Structure formats: structure tokens, C-alpha cells
């Protein structure tokens, strides 16, 4: 007999676990396949800074006991200036966060199979009907969800996603103690999440300090491995080398030391999605990908994509099963409406940002400090008119480089 479920989810990261949690809460039979063993999960897959905002915590009922530290500001730094915006946020204990989602999903009725490495989709008559894992083992479902992140074995096999190397971002992070968060030469980072735009430490990306309480902080760097952005690289440093260079150069780390067993490595693709679904199938989280191109925030977007997938499944399985390509395309509409509206424009902002030199970052901070909060909110939402307010005639050369490398935003 076939091993049948309403929905099969591949991957127990935040997106996969949240999708299963929502579906189980609606009464569906759902099984989650996770590569890691039960003993390894979730510490081994700690691949996120864990920074998020109050809207995510409220929307998905996340408890305070998975929070390392509550913050009240976001700080942007350039080599010689900074911008501070008051905005409540949370730095999560990411493994504890993931464990909560799994435990809560199980309490609602979701089944989890650990040590289950997904291999490929099972396709019959042109539709996805199940998943092969661990070699020859199989499980079947009316709908299959790929939440495996950049690996994307199911979505890639089905031709749903095409993750390009030129859009591949890599990052590394450690937690440190002894960080001087209120150094006189920099913005006060007490109770703050800081992103720094500085090609000396992250060419084609950013570095960060997220306060985690006391004199401790999560510190890391991330950049896109794109030749256009690498034009700002001074040598052949690895991502580890850039982090070490920052640690050696920034006086805030003069007395800092790494906290053991806190290293985090991760990757994501920063590019627009072409498609996200097909017959009986959707891709969510970083499989799509869903990471916010401006802030680099992936938790909220991943969770929203999970909920959109659960809503789509609920619609397709209610009152008679219809999991055709057309019915599943509701997910694509929800993604563009609720997960990442105006994604193309936000991606334009990010790509252009990484092309400009350090001197332009200093001017950006001055410009941001001169704008009112409403204008800043519209820029963050991707307003074309407000984005143009940040550009000047001297930016034409950067725009021309953008045109040569990418298409203009719609």
C-alpha cells in the first residue's frame, strides 16, 4: 500500500515547519521529511542570524522564550557615517525557534521523519504525486512542498526554479563577548541590529553586529559572489578572511573573543523568482528564494511564503481535490501580493547599492538622515518615485553598469 498524506513537506527549516504547522492546524495529514537526524536537529542547521521584527512574532504566535535579545533600533553604517531608525526587533535563538515550530506542529498533528534525505519527485501523468527519499523509500501526497532551501532538489528537477551562481550569497557569523557596543567613534549599538555597507569588509554585501545582551553580539559578513561586485574586492580573501579583516580593523572588537560553538554558515540566492509552482507542487522559503534583498531578512519572508502555501493547499483540497497547475498558481499570486510585493524594485535597489563605491555609501547615510520617516517607509516599500529621490546625476555611471549587468526594474 502507498504511504499517503494530504501534503508532503521536504525540509524542516522555518518555512517547512511553519507550513506543516498551519496545515496540521487546519486538520490535514501532513508529513515533513528532514535530512538531519533527530539527534542533530536543530543545532547543526543553525544557518541564520535570527534577526526579525515584531510583525513576524505576532503574526505567527512566536513565544518570547526563543528570543535571545529584544532590540529597539536598526542602524545602517557606511565607512564614515551612520543612520539610526527606531524600530523594535528581536534577535532569536535560532535553534530554539526551529525546535518550537517543530514541537508545535507535532502537537497539532504533523508527522516528522528525520534522517530522511529527499532525492527527487515522483511524477505520474505529468503531475507530482510524491517524493523519493533515502534512496528508494517513497511517500505520496496530494500536494508536495519543497522547503529545502538553496539545495532545491525537487524544484530544480521539476524546472520550477533556476538558482544562478551569480546571485549566490554566502555568509559567516560568530557570537562574540567583550564587544564595545557604545564606542565613541560609532553609533551606539546597545539594543540594536546594525548593518554596515563597506566593501573593505564585505564587497558586494554587508557586515553586521546584532546585540544579544550585555557585551555580547552576533557578528558576521555576507556578500554575493558576483564578478561585478568583486570589482571592489582588494584581494582573494575568503568570507572567513573578510570577517577576520573586520575584526582586526574595527576597535569595537579590540577586547572581543568568540563564544565557542556559535559559528554559523549559510547561503541564499538574491534573485527574482520566475515560477514557484506547478501541478500539485509549490516551492517556499529560500527555495524560491524569498530573502528580502534590501535587509537580508529571510525569516519573516520564509514564514509568509509558508502560510501562502498552506492557504493554497487548503483551497485546492477543500470541496474536491484540484491540484492542477492553474489551481496551484494561487500561491504565486499570494507570494507577490503578501510575501514580497514590489520585489523587482527592491532587488534593483540592492543590486545598484552593491555596485557603487564606499564614498557613495557615506552620501547615502547623509541623504537618509535628511529624509522624513514617511519617505523612508515608502522607499523601503519600493516606491519608484521615492527611490529616485536618492539618485543624483553622478549616479548615471552606476546605472549604466547596472543596465549592462541586469535588466531595468519594472
Pairing of strands 82-92, 51-53: antiparallel
Model pLDDT, residue 404: 74
> Phi-psi bin for 293: left (phi > 0), alpha (psi -120 to 50), beta?
alpha
Query: Which pLDDT score is estimated for 1?
Result: 57
Is residue 314 within 8 Å of 27, Cβ to Cβ?
no
Contact in structure between 149 and 284 (CB atoms under 8 Å) = no
Q: What is the pLDDT of residues 172-210, one digit of tens each?
A: 999 999 999 999 999 999 999 999 999 999 998 999 999
Q: What is the pLDDT of residue 133?
A: 97
What percentage of residues in the chain have a pLDDT greater than 70? 96
pLDDT at 410 over 50: no
The predicted model gives 94-104 an average pLDDT of 96
pLDDT at residue 273 is higher than 50: yes
Directed axis angle between helix 94-108 and helix 14-25, to 10°? 20
Q: Which of 7-21, 245-259, 290-304, 307-321 has the weakest average pLDDT?
A: 290-304
Q: What is the total residue count of the chain?
A: 410
Among the listed residues 276, 275, 278, 274, the one whose alpha carbon sits nearest the alpha carbon of residue 323: 278
Q: What angle do CA 260, 262, 268 make, to 5 degrees?
A: 155
Q: Where are the domains positioned within the chain?
A: 4-49+95-163+271-339, 167-268, 343-405
What mean pLDDT do residues 145-150 have? 94
Q: Look over the chain and give the mean of its residue pLDDT values, rounded to a whole number.
A: 91
- Closest to 121 (Cα-Cα) out of 33, 23, 222: 33
Q: Would you call 332 helix, strand, or coil by DSSP? A: helix
Right CATH number for 4-49+95-163+271-339 from 3.40.50.150, 3.50.50.60, 3.40.50.200, 3.30.70.270? 3.50.50.60
Look up residue 187 and give its three cell numbers: 553609533
Angstrom distance (rounded) from CA 183 to CA 253: 10
Q: The domain at 167-268 falls in which architecture?
A: 2-Layer Sandwich (3.30)
Q: Is 132 helix (H, G, I), strand (E, B) or coil?
A: strand
Q: Which three cell numbers stand for residue 217?
A: 553580539
Decide if 271 contacts 226 (C-beta within 8 A). no
Question: Crossing angle of helices 14-25/299-317, nearest 10°?
Answer: 40
Identify the CA nearest to 282 among candidates 314, 227, 226, 325.
Answer: 325
> What radius of gyration, in Å, describes the C-alpha atoms of the chain?
21
pTM for this model (two decimals) = 0.92
What's the pLDDT band for 31 if we cut at 50, 70, 90?
very high
Most confident of 329-333, 346-350, 351-355, 404-408: 329-333
Please report where in the chains the cell 517524493 appears, as a residue. 131
Is residue 292 within 8 A of residue 52, CB to CB? The reply is: no
| Helix, coil or strand: residue 351 | helix
Distance (Å, whole) CA 373 – CA 361: 19
Kindly report, residue by residue over 347-361, the tens digit of the pLDDT. Answer: 888 888 888 999 999
Amino acid at each position: 500500500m502507498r504511504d499517503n498524506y494530504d501534503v508532503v513537506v521536504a525540509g524542516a527549516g522555518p518555512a517547512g515547519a511553519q507550513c506543516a504547522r498551519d496545515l496540521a492546524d487546519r486538520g490535514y495529514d501532513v508529513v515533513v521529511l528532514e535530512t538531519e537526524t533527530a539527534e542533530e536537529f536543530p543545532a547543526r542547521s543553525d544557518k541564520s542570524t535570527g534577526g526579525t521584527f515584531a510583525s513576524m512574532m505576532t503574526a505567527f504566535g512566536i513565544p518570547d522564550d526563543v528570543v535571545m535579545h529584544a532590540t529597539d533600533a536598526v542602524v545602517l553604517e557606511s565607512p564614515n557615517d551612520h543612520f539610526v531608525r527606531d524600530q523594535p526587533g528581536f534577535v532569536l535563538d535560532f535553534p530554539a525557534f526551529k525546535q518550537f515550530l517543530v514541537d508545535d506542529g507535532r502537537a497539532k498533528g504533523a508527522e516528522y521523519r528525520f534522517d530522511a534525505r529527499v532525492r527527487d519527485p515522483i511524477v505520474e501523468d505529468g503531475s507530482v504525486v510524491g517524493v523519493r527519499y533515502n534512496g528508494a523509500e517513497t511517500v505520496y501526497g496530494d500536494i508536495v512542498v519543497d522547503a529545502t532551501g538553496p539545495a532545491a532538489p525537487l524544484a530544480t528537477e521539476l524546472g520550477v526554479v533556476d538558482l544562478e551562481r551569480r546571485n549566490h550569497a554566502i555568509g559567516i557569523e560568530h557570537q562574540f563577548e567583550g564587544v564595545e557596543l557604545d564606542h565613541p567613534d560609532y553609533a551606539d549599538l546597545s539594543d540594536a541590529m546594525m548593518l554596515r555597507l563597506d566593501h573593505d569588509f564585505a564587497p558586494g554585501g554587508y557586515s553586521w553586529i546584532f546585540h544579544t545582551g550585555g557585551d555580547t553580539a552576533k557578528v558576521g559578513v555576507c556578500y554575493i559572489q558576483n564578478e561585478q561586485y568583486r570589482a571592489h574586492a582588494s584581494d582573494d580573501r575568503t568570507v572567513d578572511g573578510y570577517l577576520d579583516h573586520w575584526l582586526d580593523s574595527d576597535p569595537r572588537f579590540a577586547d572581543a573573543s568568540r563564544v565557542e560553538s556559535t559559528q554559523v554558515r549559510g547561503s541564499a540566492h538574491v534573485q527574482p523568482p520566475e515560477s514557484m509552482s506547478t501541478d500539485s507542487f509549490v516551492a517556499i522559503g529560500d527555495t524560491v528564494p524569498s530573502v528580502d534583498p534590501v535587509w537580508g531578512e529571510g525569516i519573516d519572508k520564509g514564514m509568509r511564503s509558508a502560510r501562502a502555501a498552506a492557504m493554497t493547499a487548503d483551497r485546492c483540497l477543500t470541496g474536491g481535490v484540484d491540484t492542477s497547475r492553474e489551481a496551484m498558481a494561487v500561491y504565486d499570486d499570494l507570494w507577490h501580493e503578501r510575501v514580497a510585493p514590489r520585489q523587482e524594485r527592491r532587488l534593483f535597489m540592492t543590486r545598484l547599492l552593491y555596485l557603487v563605491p564606499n564614498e557613495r555609501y557615506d552620501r547615502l547615510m547623509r541623504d537618509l538622515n535628511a529624509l522624513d520617516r514617511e519617505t523612508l517607509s515608502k522607499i523601503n516599500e519600493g516606491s519608484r518615485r521615492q527611490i529616485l529621490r536618492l539618485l543624483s546625476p553622478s549616479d548615471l555611471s552606476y546605472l549604466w553598469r547596472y543596465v549592462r549587468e541586469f535588466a531595468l526594474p519594472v
